[in-house]
Structure formats: structure tokens, C-alpha cells
């Protein structure tokens, strides 16, 4: 019986030691899991914060892009208006430029004809240029010659000389009249030419001004388009970082799920180990309780038997149960 008791105690001690070792091992594993989980949760928190900052940056960049696009659209409307204005100016220029070149050509030709006539009018005679071009004097001189021819008694030579002179003056007078007429035409052409020249200069000035405005708008547009492209590039970079952070969060979640699975499995294993230890302990405790009770019963039985024997020795009357106590062992 003592041997069985020692064997039971040894098994219980072994079970307890195994349970304690398992519990210690489980605690170490749990501490490691907690440490890894804490690190991953902190990392996930930083990734979520990075994601939020990135999303906020994307919103701000989008606002800048929309604002830039709005300005680009406004500048394009301005550019289209200036181009339409330039088209209208060019149409005016094309229409008036033909008149301008035509008047210029006519003016040059008229000037050439006047020089030719002036050359004819000035040929012959040594009178001053003022006299040669004085129609009134030439008219009077011609009238006087014709009068002299008709009224004076002239020799044939004198009459011939006056007739020649009369023809010369008549030719010069005609030339001067033609010149005066051409001068009026020339002056009219020159006036028209100066008017249209002034108009053309004004058109060219307007064209130059519009060209400067168009150049400035184009420069602004180039700058705005470059700015928009830079914002697009910046947004692409931030989106890449946000997606990268999202991918890392998914990886962390996968690791956290694995840790949670490992913890549950460890907890299940620990619970099973505790149940197993408890069952083993219970199996060993039942025989021990039985032996302890048997021992207590044996001690009680011996005590009662000793009392019965003393009664029998003293000649006292024994009860049936007392007789059973005395004679039961003998019969066994």
C-alpha cells in the first residue's frame, strides 16, 4: 500500500512538473507573440498615418490641379479671342494692302509722266522756270503774237518767226496745262496714298500689339501647362506611396492574423495540456483517497476490535457486531 502511495505521488509530481514546464514554455511563446504583435501594431499605426497624410496631400494637389486647369481654360479663351482679333486685322490688312500697293504703283507712274511732261515744257527758250510754268504769261504772250501777226505789217521773215514762236508757246502752254492737270491727279493720288499708308501703319501697329499679347498668353500657358504636369507627377508619386503603404498594411494584417491564429492554437494546446494534467491528477488522487479511507477504516476497525477483546476478557457480554469484529479476521 505504501508502494502504491509513493508511486501515485511520483506520478502526480511528474505530471505537475510537466504541466509547469509546459506553462513556462507557453508563457515564453505568449510573450514573444505579444512582442511581435505590439511591434506590428505600431508599424501598422505608422503606415495608416502615412496613408492619411498621403491622401490629404493628394486632395491638396487635386485642388491645385483644378485651379491650374481653370486658369489654363481662361487663358485659352483669351488666346482664342486675341487670335480672332488678329484674324480680323489681317483681313483688313489684306483688303487695304491691295489698294495700298495699287496707289503706290499709280503714284510712281504718275510721277514719271510728270517728269516727262516737265522736260518737254522746259525745252526751248531761256526764260526762268517761273515764266515757263506761268500759264497766264504764256497765254498773254501767245495772244499778243497772234494779234501782231493779224494787225501789224510784217515782213515774211518776221511773220515766219512769229508763227514759229506762236507754235512754240502754244506747245509749251498745252504741256503746262497737262502738267497742272496731272499735278492735281498726282496730289489726289498722293493724298489717298498717305491716308491708306497711315491706315496700314495703324493696322501693322495693332497687329504688333495683338502679337505681343498673344506671345504673353502663350508664355503663360506654357508655364501653366508645365506646372500642371509637375502637379501630375507629384500626385503620381504620392499615390504610389499611399498604395505602397496600403500593400504594407495588408502584409501586416496577414502577419497579425497569423499571430492570432498561433495564439489561439497555443491557447488551445495549453488548455488541452491543463485538462490532460488535471485528468491525470484526478486519476492518481482517487486511489490515494481510497487508500487513505481504507487506512482510516482499518485503524477504526482495530480500535473497535481491541475494545471488544477487552470486554470479552473481562467477561462482559458482547454484541453481535463486536463478535463479528473479533471473529471476522479469524475466519478470513
Report yes or no on 143 lying in a domain: yes
Report yes or no on 140 lying in a domain: yes
Residue count (the chain): 332
Report yes or no on 137 lying in a domain: yes
Report yes or no on 181 lying in a domain: yes
Report yes or no on 301 lying in a domain: no
313, 305 Cβ separation under 8 angstroms: no
pTM: predicted TM-score of the whole model, two decimal places: 0.52
Going residue by residue through the chain, which has 332 residues, state the pLDDT in tens, using 9 for 90 and above: 444 444 444 444 444 444 545 555 555 666 676 788 888 899 999 999 999 999 999 999 999 999 999 999 999 999 999 999 999 988 888 888 778 788 788 778 877 776 776 665 555 444 444 544 577 777 788 788 888 778 777 778 887 888 888 888 788 777 777 777 777 777 877 888 788 888 888 988 999 999 999 999 999 999 999 999 999 999 999 999 999 999 999 999 998 888 888 888 877 777 777 776 666 655 555 555 566 666 677 777 777 777 777 777 776 776 767 676 666 654 44
Report yes or no on 229 lying in a domain: yes
Report yes or no on 101 lying in a domain: yes
* Total of domains in the chain: 1
Report yes or no on 173 lying in a domain: yes
| 219: containing domain | 92-235
User: CA–CA separation, 163 vs 250, rounded Å?
Assistant: 126
Amino acid at each position: 500500500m505504501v508502494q502504491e502511495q509513493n508511486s501515485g505521488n511520483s506520478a502526480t509530481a511528474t505530471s505537475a512538473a510537466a504541466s509547469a514546464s509546459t506553462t513556462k514554455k507557453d508563457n515564453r511563446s505568449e510573450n514573444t507573440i505579444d512582442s511581435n504583435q505590439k511591434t506590428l501594431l505600431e508599424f501598422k499605426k505608422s503606415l495608416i498615418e502615412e496613408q492619411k497624410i498621403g491622401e490629404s496631400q493628394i486632395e491638396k494637389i487635386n485642388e491645385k490641379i483644378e485651379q491650374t486647369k481653370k486658369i489654363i481654360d481662361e487663358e485659352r479663351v483669351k488666346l482664342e479671342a486675341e487670335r480672332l482679333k488678329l484674324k480680323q486685322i489681317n483681313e483688313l490688312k489684306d483688303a487695304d494692302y491691295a489698294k495700298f500697293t495699287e496707289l503706290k504703283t499709280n503714284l510712281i507712274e504718275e510721277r514719271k509722266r510728270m517728269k516727262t511732261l516737265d522736260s518737254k515744257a522746259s525745252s526751248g527758250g531761256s526764260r526762268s522756270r517761273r515764266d515757263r510754268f506761268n500759264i497766264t504769261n504764256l497765254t498773254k504772250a501767245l495772244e499778243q503774237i497772234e494779234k501782231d501777226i493779224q494787225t501789224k505789217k510784217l515782213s515774211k521773215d518776221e511773220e515766219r518767226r512769229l508763227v514759229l514762236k506762236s507754235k512754240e508757246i502754244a506747245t509749251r502752254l498745252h504741256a503746262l496745262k497737262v502738267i497742272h492737270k496731272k499735278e492735281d491727279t498726282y496730289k489726289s493720288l498722293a493724298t489717298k496714298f498717305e491716308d491708306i499708308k497711315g491706315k496700314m501703319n495703324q493696322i501693322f501697329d495693332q497687329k504688333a500689339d495683338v502679337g505681343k499679347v498673344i506671345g504673353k498668353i502663350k508664355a503663360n500657358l506654357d508655364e501653366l501647362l508645365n506646372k500642371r504636369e509637375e502637379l501630375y507627377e507629384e500626385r503620381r508619386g504620392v499615390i504610389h506611396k499611399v498604395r505602397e503603404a496600403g500593400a504594407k498594411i495588408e502584409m501586416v494584417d496577414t502577419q497579425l492574423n497569423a499571430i492570432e491564429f498561433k495564439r489561439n492554437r497555443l491557447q488551445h494546446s495549453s488548455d488541452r495540456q491543463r485538462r490532460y494534467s488535471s485528468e491525470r491528477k484526478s486519476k492518481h488522487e482517487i486511489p490515494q483517497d481510497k487508500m487513505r479511507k481504507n487506512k482510516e477504516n482499518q485503524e477504526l476497525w482495530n480500535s473497535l476490535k481491541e475494545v471488544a477483546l477487552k470486554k470479552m476478557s473481562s467477561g462482559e457480554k458482547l454484541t453481535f457486531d463486536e463478535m463479528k469484529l473479533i471473529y471476522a479476521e479469524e475466519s478470513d
